[in-house]
Structure 1
Amino acid sequence: MALHDNTQAAPVIALEGVGKMFRTADGADRAVLEGVDLTLREGEIVAMLGKSGSGKSTLLRIMAGLVGADRGTVQFRGRPLQGAAEGIAMVFQSFALFPWLTVQQNVELGLEAQGVAGPERTRRAEAAIDMIGLSGFNSALPRELSGGMRQRVGIARALVTEPDLLLMDEAFSALDVLTGETLRDEMLGLWQSGRANIRSILIVSHNIEEAVMMADRIVILSSDPGRVRAEVPVPFPRPRNRDDAQVRALVDEVYTLMTSPATPGPRVPAATAAQALGYRLPDADIGQMEAVLDLLHESPFFGRADLPHLAAEAGLTDDDLLPACEAMQLLGLAHIERGDISATALGRVYYQTPPPERKVLFGKQLLAHVALAAHIRRELEESEHGEVGEEAVLRELEAYLKPEEAETVLRIAIDWGRFGEVYGYSLHSGMLMLPDLVPSA
């Protein structure tokens, strides 16, 4: 049974050719977003997925009017969006509550900014608090509430303004699984009842199953720069059964899109080692990588697994599993194709190798496949004292990445390099050094 067709409904917000740039440390411009075309229409929930570097948060802030686009146009209700608009509200992952204000006062903030009179503010805030299931907690401070209750306050603060467009930036990801699912289901109940008077919802998520369970349409962004690489309709009525065969098949399809190259054919290697330094390493914990690889070799998988099934068995979210799998593929330990992961011959050897010897194999693969690690090692070998300051490496990375992204990539490279005994690092001095120069504990 298909849902009603929204393609002829009135646009709530429309982006055409949207691009956003940032300036690197060497003065060059680099695109975060490029050529993004996206329309949200009345009566639909859209979920947006993308890896790190896809510009999801930047795009969301452009749609909220918090930052401007450098290229293209953004129209809200048929008019150019210029700054924050009254008909757009946003729910953040971090709750973003003022800790010194009560629940009632936090919810009233948006109405106060719109100039709504005191008695009307009070009435509408009380109604929103009741609608989101927090009646009786109006005078409580955020520190007195659980995480789920604090996020309810954030949602009530957004709903009280009766926005045409609700933007949700990973709004359930900071919550435990059960609380997140409960709040998600309650939001869907409010949406379908029409009580919240919202015309359209955009959910930025890292959870593929959440996107399939909530959305009418899933938009997938590619990375570096962010572009819309695929749009997947979700043709199932709500409420949806996560165990339904058609739902599981769609989850598999989205996993396939999320783990496949953006364009058909083999990946094109970086033209030079210098260009490869800007590769955005997946933020993967080594312990999780090894746990996933070990699980992959055991029953019921024996070397090959469907990614959603593996995620369930490993008890990992997509935010943890996908970077771990990407890192394993990068290091030649696994291969991902069409939403399935399989161990390579080297991955099988790694699995059978005792833990102390694994470090040697890991380090060898790191130098062979991660340009940044090989570059650091080469710099150390060529330096007079076998040491290089992390600030020098950061400056090199900032020619390709934003400062905060460069710091993340260097932290990952340091963690991987220390594990593989390719180089050491002193947190006290901020120096990278050859392994034989690392002070013994």
Structure 2
Amino acid sequence: MATTADEFAPVRRWRRPIVRTVTAEPEAINRTIVSDRAFLVLVTVMLMFAYRDMLTSSLRYYLSLVHLGVLWFVPDILSFGIMGYFTWNIALKRRSPFAILLVLSFTFSMTVGIIFMQTNLFSMFSAAKLFMPFFVGASMVGRSVTELRWVTRALIALFVISTVGVLLEPHISYPWLGQALDNFGQVKKVGRIWWAGGGKIRYGGFAGESTMASYMMLIPYAIVHFRFSRLVNVLLWIPIYYAITLTTNKTALIVFFFFITWYLYTHFLSADPTRLLRRIAALSFLTIPIVFIAMVVLSGVDLTSVDPVLFSLQDRIQHTWGFPFIWMSENYPAGLFIGCGMGCFTYPMQYTKLASLWVPVDNFYLSTLAMMGLPFAVFVIGMFTAVYKSASRQKLLLIAMVNFYSVTVQGYGPSTCAILLAYAFSDMFLPSGRNWMRKFARQPSAS
């Protein structure tokens, strides 16, 4: 299968004059669904979210100093319009079954959430905007964020700035640390010092939170790493690794080691990296049942006796992962089938009368299943089809990485998580991939 030029073009091609886009082979880009103009809006909003998340604490702090805190919500407002675009262009116009299911599930889940949590206007808006970034990523059907040269450069700057922010923090006292701001009646700390086991500080860089900082280093780098030579990639691993260790984020470290292993194998041993990536992406879905199995088999087991570093995993297995479903089975049995509504057992729940029930369900699939119920389980089947519909190595790699990440990350905290997760699976909304990719099946693969 042919590889995509936007992903594997040598570094020297950056010096060639180009007007707007980086040349890509037909199998990588499908402009019949998302026009260039619409795609330009999508990537612009994506970058607005990404830079906002990467600079969370610092941006909130400086916006408050100039009394422009309302600008924080600009990308959220724009994302509501993109949800309308997704509904019209992909669900209704293209009649994609899984797109229709997504829109109907979201609408129904919003209704259930309003009734279940007795939401006020702010919590209802918060619950809706929780999921809006997902529509931003899902709308990039058949497109690649590295098509546009300036987007590629913006993503490179994104992971570089995030990495530098973490590396500098042990040596610089950022002015926003310890600051608290009023957020529509809710006091929110924009800069906290987080601690890990053994008294280690969890550095969060400009984002102010370690999980977010590590994500903003690793995933954007994975998207653009195709643009670098082998030597540059290997050299970049050193500061990225050191920065991730400063965040003490174990999930990020595991995913980073997976990336390095995949990179070394495909660049020095494998003759068909696309086929390997497709297999890995498919196998990454095993993380979903493994979580459920762990909740059943390891419940009550003292994992800290094996290694104290497993305390956070033990806490998730025994307390946070299963709590929403246990509580619903005892108090709201219908929720096991229809969900408890958009925003429940995620951060919008903290703005409602049920705030005392909130627990950090740090798993994308579990938290979304709790909100949307069984319709989301059907949607996951559609997500799996993206493995075989997508012709992009970039998206196949992301599918594997975000699935591994999603084991201990909810995916809605920083909006960029939801965007890039949906972007990875966006080709699920393409028509059947067989005819689309058959044209290129006989073309020789590029190394």
Same fold (TM over 0.5): no
Greater strand proportion: 1
Bigger RCO of structures 1 and 2 (CA < 8 A, at least 6 apart): 2
Q: TM-score, normalised by structure 2?
A: 0.26
Richer in helix (by share):
2
Q: Normalising by structure 1, what TM-score?
A: 0.26
